[in-house]
Each structure stands twice: as C-alpha cells, then as structure tokens.
Amino acid sequence: MSTTRHDYKITLVTLGRWSVGKTSLARRFAQGKFDENQFATVGAMHLHKVVDSEGSQVLVEIWDTAGQEQYDAITDQYYRSAQGVLIVYDATDPDSFERAKQWVEKLRKEVMGRHNKQGLVVAVVANKVDKVDERNRLMRAGQTFALEEGFLYFETSAKTGANVDVLFESMVKAVPAPAHMGPVVSLDEFDRERSPPASSCTC
C-alpha cells in the first residue's frame, strides 16, 4: 500500500460512450499501463495518483464511469460532486462524438447551467488518435465544439500514451486549489475512507 502524502484532492470523472477508451486513459495515467483487451466497466471504477502541481502534492481521484446508457443514473452521482470532467470520444467514431455532445447537454442542464458559475472544468478528449495518419474531420470538429463551449480540448492515445499526462496535468492545473487546505493525509488514510469500486475492469 502506498503511503505517499498529499496536500489536497481533486475529483475527475470520465464520461463518454462505451469503447472510446475512458478506462484506458485513466489507467495509462494512474498506473502507466495499457491493456488491449479491457472489459466494459460496470457502474464505475476508482483510480488515483498523486502528482506535483506548482509545489503542491495533489491527489487526483478519477472515477471512470460506464459508457452504456443503462448506467447513466449511476454515472450522475459521480459527476455531480466532481471538480473536473473528461468527455471522451473516439477520433474515428462519429457516433461517439454525438454521444459526447449529448453529455455536454446533460451537464449544462443538470450541473453547470448556461454560465457554469460553479467553475466545473471540462475537457473534450479525442482519443485513439493512433488510429489516424493525420488530423481528421472528427478531431477538427471536436476542437471547434470545445472552443465554442469554452472547454479544454486534447487529442490523446491511451495506447501510445500520447498527451495522456498532458491531459491530466492540465486538468489539475485548471482546477483551483482550495482556499484553505486541510491537513496533509496519506493514501493509506484516503483508501480506508473509500468504498470498494463498482467494477474492476472497463474498456
């Protein structure tokens, strides 16, 4: 068990259609691993990693959610308490991009409102860019969409690791540090407070 200590915690949630690589992104960042044969997430899976951000040790808590629509109600409870959301789509799959836009509509309606007064940090992520030789229409569309919505935008490959660390580290920097940090705690203490994850695998 790790005993790495941290100054404060942020919670990130992955949203997107099944098979777009949400779990692969989270595992690549948190564990440095990639599995070509991931199973679909049931409910949600929890991962974490401590990173240094501008001199502070930040515990990045990632809730990797299921992409199947029957789990939407379960997914809702995670993004309502998050400071950052990664909306992921497959850079080669138009349907997954449409699903990503539906998630934005849902966030606007249920959490953010029109002006995002609570300051939720959102990133649109075009994943699986290793499958394309050059920037394609879906990648350009994702960038335009993110710009129009006022979101961050990234092009990543969980398989090769391209831009994965940049994505998560940028999210950490974009989420404001708490005005009053609590006592430094260890991952041992943090893990004892967590409920068991709803899944041990995903796609």
pLDDT (tens digit per residue) in 129-164: 999 998 999 999 999 999 999 999 999 999 999 999
pTM: 0.82
What is the predicted pLDDT for the residue at 35?
Answer: 83
The span from the CA of 147 to the CA of 151, in Å, is: 6
What is the predicted pLDDT for the residue at 190?
Answer: 47
Q: How many structural domains does the chain have?
A: 1
Strand-pair category, 44-53 with 56-65:
antiparallel
The residue type found at 199 is S
In a domain, 196, yes or no: no
Which tokens hold the place of 182?
């609590």
Range of the domain at 38: 5-177
The span from the CA of 39 to the CA of 18, in Å, is: 10
What is the predicted pLDDT for the residue at 191?
Answer: 54
What is the predicted pLDDT for the residue at 165?
Answer: 98
CATH, residue 20:
3.40.50.300
Cite the beta strand spans of 35-143 per DSSP E: 44-53, 56-65, 84-90, 121-127
What is the predicted pLDDT for the residue at 183?
Answer: 53
Residues in the chain where the model's pLDDT stays below 70:
1-3, 37-44, 66-76, 114-115, 117, 180-203
In a domain, 193, yes or no: no
The span from the CA of 179 to the CA of 182, in Å, is: 10
